[in-house]
Amino acid sequence: MTTQIDINSASKAKIDALRSVIDARLRVMAAGSEFAPRLNAAIAHSLLAPGKRFRPILCVLIAREFSANTDAALDAGCAAEMVHTASLILDDLPCMDDAKLRRGLPTTHLEFDESTAILAAVALLNRAYGIIAKITDLDASSKVDLTELMSRAVGSYGLIAGQIADLDNDDMDTDESHVEQVNALKTGALFDYTILAAAKISKLTAAQTEHAAEFSRQIGLAFQLLDDLKDRILSEAQAGKTIDRDIGKATLVALGGEAAAKQKLSNYMKAADDALIAMGVNEASPLRNAIAYQFKLPSHA
């Protein structure tokens, strides 16, 4: 994000306040059948663990920027958070990254067991669609569009395709464009749902929606590259998750080095910001503040 954005204490307080609203909504949504207490506990463990909530924050702030229904955006964003959490549970499994720590807590399969973790992920994926179906003050056609967006984000055009490509992503002779394509699938796809859902709720024009799609692409690529950089430069305690899972993988950091990756991150953020302004977002918008806050690397990094 451009350097002139000043993230002051008031901006942080507003972001934290919105995160608290999202957490409260997720807490209500996480409730399940009394018949399955272990499953409910696993869902709560993973979904309600301290997280950035960046996707629902984006969804709400875009809607707020265009004076749209923020309650609808909140629920649409929470659906994205559920899918994101499900993807983390699956990504951490022994057959995937075999991670021990996530969001500062033991991974779900270690806190419970692998079977419960898998079922919790499936339950979260299923619940996300139910949330979209029940969004109030959103017409039926828009709900169908959001459902299609989510289906594409999750399936073989999105997260699942990206995950299987990432598992095979160990060719260090590959080029950066291939890595970007993998990142666009495994990380960017859920941003596509989130941001285009917000565009739909906000009733943006076709031209604005094109800019929103470009913003989504750039912010998704930036988000994955930032995650890869953190895996390289942060300790496990700082990251709040198992690190060094990318050793042997063809990431942009591995291919080009840390300095080049930081420059590429800056380029992604500039392109994302340009698209955001082209959408019609005010330069002094809280949305830009929230993005800058999310993408601030630790000072020593």
In a domain, 1, yes or no: no
Would you state the pLDDT for residue 147?
98
Residue 163's domain comprises: 9-294
Total structural domains within the chain = 1
Would you state the pLDDT for residue 167?
84
Q: Which residues of the chain have pLDDT under 70?
A: 1-10, 171, 239, 243-248, 297-301
Q: What is the CATH number of the domain that holds 154?
A: 1.10.600.10
In a domain, 57, yes or no: yes
Would you state the pLDDT for residue 93?
96
DSSP state of 49: S
Would you state the pLDDT for residue 296?
77
DSSP 159-217: HHHHHHHHHT---TT--HHHHHHHHIIIIIHHHHHHHHHHHHHTT--HHHHHHHHHHHH
In a domain, 271, yes or no: yes
**Rounded CA separation 163/118 (Å):** 15
In a domain, 156, yes or no: yes
In a domain, 224, yes or no: yes
In a domain, 299, yes or no: no
Would you state the pLDDT for residue 240?
73
Would you state the pLDDT for residue 7?
52
Buried b (16+ CB within 10 A) or exposed e, 126-159: ebbbebbeebeebeeebbebbeebbebbbeeebb
In a domain, 270, yes or no: yes
In a domain, 194, yes or no: yes
Would you state the pLDDT for residue 29?
93
Token digits of residue 20: 């608290």
Would you state the pLDDT for residue 231?
84
Token digits of residue 134: 């029940």
Would you state the pLDDT for residue 9?
66
Residue 92 φ then ψ, to 5°: -85, -10
Strand, coil or helix: what is 101?
strand
